[in-house]
A = this chain, B = another copy of it.
Amino acid sequence: MSEPLGPVDAAQVPRFAGPPTFARLPRRDQVEAVDVAIVGVPFDSGVTYRPGARFGPSALRAASRLLRPYHPPLDVWPFAVQQVADCGDVACNPFDIGEAIAQIEAAADELHGAGARVMALGGDHTIALPLLRSAAKKHGPVALVHFDAHLDTWDAYFGARYTHGTPFRRAVEEGIVDTDRLTHVGIRGPLYAAEDLAEDARLGFGIINTMDVQELGPRGITDRIVERVGDAPLYVSVDIDVLDPAYAPATGTPEAGGLSSRELLAILRGLVGRRLVAADLVEVAPAYDHAEITAIAGAHVIYELVSTMGLEGTV
Q: Which residues of A contact B (CB under 8 A)?
A: 10-20, 40, 42, 44-52, 54-55, 57-58, 61-62, 65-73, 75, 77, 88-97, 99, 157-160, 163, 188-194, 196-197, 209-211, 214-215, 217-219, 244-247, 249-250, 253-258, 260-263, 265-266, 285, 287-293, 296-297, 299-301, 303
* Contact yes or no, B190 A69, CB < 8 A: yes
> Which residue in chain B gives the minimum CB-CB distance to A78?
B190
Would you call A95 and B303 a contact (CB within 8 A)?
Answer: no
- Tell me if A159 and B95 are in contact (CB < 8 A): yes
Chain B, residue nearest A91 (CB): B13
Query: Is the beta-carbon distance between A211 and B266 smaller than 8 angstroms?
Result: yes
Chain B: minimal CB distance from A315 (Å): 19
Chain B residues near A89 (CB-CB < 8 A): 13, 17-18
**Once the chains bind, are A262 and B13 in contact (CB under 8 Å)?**
no
Q: Are B291 and A291 in contact (CB under 8 A)?
A: no
CB-based nearest B residue for A307:
B190
Number of copies: 6
When the two chains form their complex, are residues B54 and A54 in contact, meaning their CB atoms are under 8 A apart?
A: no
A-B contact pairs, 8 of them (CB 8 A): A16-B54, A19-B88, A51-B52, A70-B194, A72-B194, A254-B296, A257-B265, A258-B261
A70 — which chain B residues lie within 8 A by C-beta?
Answer: 190-194, 196
- B61–A14 contact, CB under 8 A? no
Distance (Å) between the CB of A44 and the closest chain B CB? 7
Q: Is the interface of A mostly helix, strand, loop or mixed?
A: loop
Contacts A58-B62, A247-B246 known; A94 to B48 CB distance under 8 Å? yes
Known: A160-B96, A249-B291. A214 touches B55 (CB 8 A): no
A197's nearest neighbour on chain B, judged by CB, is B72
With both chains docked as a complex, state the minimum distance between the C-beta of A120 and any C-beta of chain B, in angstroms: 13
For A263, the chain B residues whose CB sits under 8 A away are 214
**In the bound complex, do residue B91 and residue A12 qualify as a contact, i.e. CB atoms below 8 Å apart?**
yes
8 further interface pairs, Cβ-Cβ under 8 Å (given A17-B89, A290-B291): A14-B48, A18-B91, A51-B51, A70-B191, A72-B197, A96-B159, A215-B219, A287-B287
Residue of B nearest to A291 (CB): B249
